[in-house]
Amino acid sequence: MLNNFVMPDLYPAAPEIFLLLMSFLVLFVDLVFGATHRWMAAMLTMIALIGCAAITLVTSDGQTTLTFGNMFVDDLLSDFLKLLTYLAVIMMLVYGRQYMADRGLDKGEFYLLVLYATLGMMVMISAANFLTIYLGLELMSLSLYGLVAIDRDNTRATEAAMKYFVLGALASGLLLYGMSMIYGATGTLEIGGIAQALYHGQSEKTVLVLGLVFLVGGIAFKLGLVPFHMWIPDVYHGAPTAVTMFIGSAPKLAAFAMALRLLVYGLFGLAADWQTMLLIMAVLSIALGNLAAIAQTNIKRMLAYSAISHMGYMVLGLMSGVVGGQVDAFTAINAYSSALYYTVAYVLMSLGAFGMVLLLSRAGYEAENLEDFKGLNKRSPWFAAMMLIIMFSMAGIPFFIGFFAKFAVLLAAIKAGYTAVAVVAVMFSLIGAFYYLRVVKLMYFDTPVDSAPIAAGMDLRVLLSLNGLAVAGFGLFPDAVMMICTTTLMRSL
């Protein structure tokens, strides 16, 4: 009845509401001025994202607030992840501006889809209920399918979008199926309620574990873990590079939030079960990602396989929170914050790596083959150095952020008693070092095949330089980001 309706507290969801309103404005402005003033949509998108960041910062009080009937949560973790998401999206827009414009793809739809995908991620990050998770996930995924296919006449992109859509729909199906089973066993959709139900231990274990399997499958698909990784190389390869960059950065943060909320907040009681699943998938991802990346000649595909292996390392941290069924708050925080730190580091490196691909691309030319990096040191020593930093960082060589991310994860894994797994993981990172080294080899030891001057604009150059320096700087002084990750989790768990 209408008189039973209680207005929910909108304050915790202020950034989402603001973004939604701004998207309507973009829609309207694009309709009226789209043909003549293309820059307006871009400008408004930027303003929307910066506004969101401001609102998130202002409304962040470090408290955990539930709203919309316990479906939506605003805590320090969500604020932190949302801020990083805005940052990643803004960086993607700056990196991709010229690339999209050169190809006539900087239409209103592009900005709208980016905004809706961002909104989807924000909802995922703040979800406290299975329905909210699913809502956010679908909003993000559907927008991403559209973005992959935004270059309509490109058959490879369309094929990638189709593949992404079909597999993505399947994964959503898996996730829903798993959710329904867990609902059946516990009688609630609320993540907090499920944790309670598991704690009391009156639920049917068989149904729960079966549901968990499907749930983990859905999460693994979003993170791109073996054996749910099939879509990653094709989508990364087929999508326009700016979109690849988008898919390769911010959604990883949202997927991390989803994994953390579902597995750690919700299904912590089943940790022993999902730990084993994650362990197997982590090792397989690290192995397959690193081995397959060696065989690639296309840098986008190579980075796709590298993304698979990186997510494997991240999950290694995620699964190390519980030691032999014993919960120890310090170990748990340590492990989850190492996974969070890994995700943050990976997003930063991934943005930089795709930024390099965009730097070398120009109107009518896609610099997506490894060959295009040949002799970069002769063409531009500065950007060759930036790529060198990013590649060595991804390979996990110090003094760069990627090393400390791997280090934190390995420490968590060894602490949880997975020493053998850690040894396997470092051995595969040795194999991984090979293909990162190959990029450095192409840049420094070979002579250029493409001697055209770099056409990228000043905005891209400055951002890429900052990005590369951040990878190095956060490596020299890793303390601050690590402390933020730890504190955030400590106050949100």
Partner 1 sequence: MNSQLLSLAIWVPILGALPVFWIGSERRTLVRWLSLAVAVAGFLVTIPLYTGFDAAQGGMQFVEQAPWITRFNTQYFLGVDGISMPFILLNSLITVLVVLAGWEVIEEKQAQYMGAFLVMSGLMNGIFSALDGILFYVFFEASLIPMYIIIGAWGGPNRVYAAFKFFLYTLLGSLLMLVALIWLFLESGGSFNILDWHQLPIGIKPQILIFIAFLVSFAVKVPMWPVHTWLPDAHVEAPTGGSVVLAAIALKLGAYGFVRFSLPIVPDASHQLAPLIIALSLIAVIYIGFVALVQTDMKKLIAYSSISHMGFVTLGFFIFNQIGIEGALVQMISHGFVSAAMFLCVGVMYDRMHSRQIADYGGVVNTMPKFAALFVFFAMANSGLPATSGFVGEFMVILGAIKFNFWIGFAAATTLILGAAYTLWMVKRVVFGEVGNAHVAELKDIGHREFLVLGLLAVCVLAMGLYPFPFTEVMHASVDNLLKHVAVSKLQ
| Residue 157 binding partner 1, by CB under 8 A | no
Determine if 479 is a binding residue for partner 1 (CB under 8 A): yes
Spatial separation of the C-alpha atoms in residues 37 and 35, rounded to whole Å: 6
Indicate whether 292 belongs to the interface with partner 1 (CB under 8 A).
no
Closest distance of CB 105 from partner 1, Å: 37
Pick 150 or 353: Cβ nearer partner 1: 353
Among 134, 164, 214, 444, binds partner 1 (CB under 8 A): 444
Q: Does 437 bind partner 1 (CB under 8 A)?
A: yes
Judged by CB, which is closer to partner 1: 57, or 427?
A: 427
Using rule CB under 8 A, residue 478 touches partner 1 = yes
Q: How far apart are CA 251 and CA 119, in angstroms?
A: 11
* Cα separation, 138 vs 186, whole angstroms: 24
Cβ–Cβ under 8 Å, residues 282 and 223? no
Q: Smallest distance, Å, CB 69 to partner 1? A: 37
Kindly list the distances between the CA atom of residue 161 and the CA atoms of 18, 148, 151, 244, 345, in Å, as whole numbers in the listed order: 29, 5, 10, 12, 27
For position 451 contacting partner 1 by CB under 8 A, the verdict is no
**Least distance from C-beta 487 to partner 1, angstroms?**
10
- To partner 1, the closest distance from the beta carbon of 268 in angstroms equals 23
Distance from C-alpha of 379 to C-alpha of 239, rounded to nearest angstrom: 27
Among 29, 83, 433, 454, binds partner 1 (CB under 8 A): 433
Compare residues 126 and 377 and give the one whose CB is closer to partner 1.
Answer: 377
The residue from 14, 195, 426, 469 that contacts partner 1 (CB under 8 A) is: 426
Nearest distance in Å: CB 465, partner 1: 13
- 491 lines the binding site for partner 1 (CB under 8 A): no
Q: Residue 356: name the closest of 480, 240, 242 by CA.
A: 242
Q: Which of 174, 197, 208, 397 binds partner 1 (CB under 8 A)?
A: 397
* Footprint of partner 1 (CB under 8 A): 377, 381, 385, 388, 392, 397-399, 403-404, 407-408, 410-411, 414-415, 419, 422-423, 426-427, 429-430, 433-434, 437, 440-441, 444-445, 478-479, 482-483, 486
